[in-house]
Each structure stands twice: as C-alpha cells, then as structure tokens.
C-alpha cells in the first residue's frame, strides 16, 4: 500500500483545503504531546533515584497545568477560524435545495428558472463507478458563491461531499443551510452520511462543476 492512497482526496474548495491544513497542524500537536508523555513516563519508570516527594512539587503542578492549556489554544484558535469560514455566507449568487428521501435525493433550482429533478443511483454496470454515480447529476458553476438548503421528507439524512468539505444534516420539518465554493471543474461524489434505513448506502450524490457560461446555457436548455 502506498502512503498516497491513505491521504485525503484532492480538495475542491477553499474550506476543504483549510480543513486538511488544520488536520496536519493538529497531528503535529498530537505528536508533540505523545512524545512528551512517553519521555516523561519512560524517565520516571527507568530512573531509580526519583524522589517520591517530587510528585507534590508546586512548580511541576503549575507546569503540567499550563502546558495542556497552551496545547489546547494551539488547536482551538485555528479550529474556531475554520468554523467561522464554513458558516460565513455573504451574498450567494445561486441557491439550490436538496431534499432527502428513502432512498434518493431530489433537487430544486429556483433562482433563475424553476428546475426540479430526482437523482437515483445508477444500476451496477462495468461503465459506472459502483454505488456513486446517479442518473441525474447536479450541475453547479465553479468559482461562484453557492448557498444550499437541505431538508428531508421522511427521516434524518445527511448531504455530504467529502472533497468539498460539506456535510449538512437533512432533517424532516426543518431547513438547514450551508455554503459552497467550487474551486475547479470536475465531477465530485458523495453519499448520505446518516444511517437512514435499509438502503442507506444506495443514495449517492453526484455534482458536476462547470464554468458560469456553460451553467447558464445548461439552465436555458434544461
């Protein structure tokens, strides 16, 4: 197995790029903590001259109280920043709605033209990607601020695209919203990330990212 196959998928949005950077940052902090704790434990176990009274030393108490607080700050500050960036939504150009059903998704565009369609998983065949391709893919413009609204008609679902860093719960009787920004063209896949019933694994999400001119043409011809 190659190390590359164990890494994240290529990010297709600024928020996902920030999440990967935060993951690497947090892993470095965790490695520092692990090495420090292992060193201290090894030193205490191997050193026969350790004084038992040292464990009630005020200076040591202060050190192992301040150091964890500093490590928490190193993790918390970038985490809060990314949470703010994910939730930030200023003047979106396009809004679409995703509705979860057992077991498929339906989509609605209503900004420029009323477009509605259902998206089912494609039957298994040699030409399609297993359990990821759909008969009707969702089309969105790249390098455009997009707002998505999601809900459910029956049980709780979760609309998720890993490479975009988007995961929003679709709940019956409630509208949840999120933002997206596609950095480059391509086709991106996702799946429902909430266990919603017997066929939970058979309701994929498929997005095609195209330029704005092609998107307007697609809407006119739909």
**Residues 128-149 pLDDT 10s:** 677 888 888 889 999 888 888 9
CA atoms within 13 A on the CB side of 126: 0
The predicted structure's pLDDT at residue 2: 46
Domains of the chain, start order = 11-87 (1.10.287.90), 94-221 (2.60.40.420)
Look-up of token digits 């066929």: 199
Strand residues in 63-165 grouped as ranges (E): 94-101, 104-109, 115-119, 138-141, 146-152, 157-161
Helices (H), the chain: 14-46, 58-87, 212-221
Contact between 208 and 137 under an 8 Å Cβ cutoff? The reply is yes
**Which residues does the chain have with pLDDT short of 50?**
1-2
Residue 153: CB atoms within 10 A of its CB come to 13
Model confidence pLDDT, tens digit, residues 16-42? 888 888 888 888 888 988 998 898 888
In contact, 159 and 190? CB cutoff 8 Å: yes
Q: pLDDT value at position 158?
A: 92
pLDDT of residue 4: 54
């Amino acid at each position: 197995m190659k190390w590359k196959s164990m890494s994240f998928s290529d990010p297709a949005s600024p928020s996902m790029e920030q999440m990967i950077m935060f993951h690497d940052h947090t892993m470095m902090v965790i490695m520092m903590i692990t090495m420090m704790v292992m060193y201290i434990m090894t030193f205490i176990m191997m050193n026969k001259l350790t004084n038992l009274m040292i464990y009630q030393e005020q200076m040591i108490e202060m050190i192992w109280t301040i150091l964890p607080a500093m490590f928490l700050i190193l993790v918390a500050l970038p985490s809060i920043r990314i949470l703010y960036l994910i939730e930030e939504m200023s003047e979106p150009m396009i809004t679409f709605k995703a509705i979860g059903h057992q077991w498929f998704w339906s989509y609605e565009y209503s900004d420029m033209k009323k477009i509605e369609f259902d998206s089912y998983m494609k039957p298994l065949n040699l030409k399609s990607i297993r359990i990821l391709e759909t008969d009707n893919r969702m089309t969105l413009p790249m390098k455009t601020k997009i707002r998505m609204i999601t809900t459910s008609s029956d049980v709780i679902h979760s609309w998720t695209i890993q490479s975009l860093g988007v995961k929003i719960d679709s709940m019956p009787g409630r509208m949840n919203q999120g933002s997206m920004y596609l950095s480059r063209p391509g086709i991106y896949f996702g799946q429902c990330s909430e266990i919603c019933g017997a066929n939970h694994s058979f309701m994929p999400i498929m997005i095609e990212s195209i330029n704005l001119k092609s998107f307007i043409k697609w809407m006119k011809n739909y």
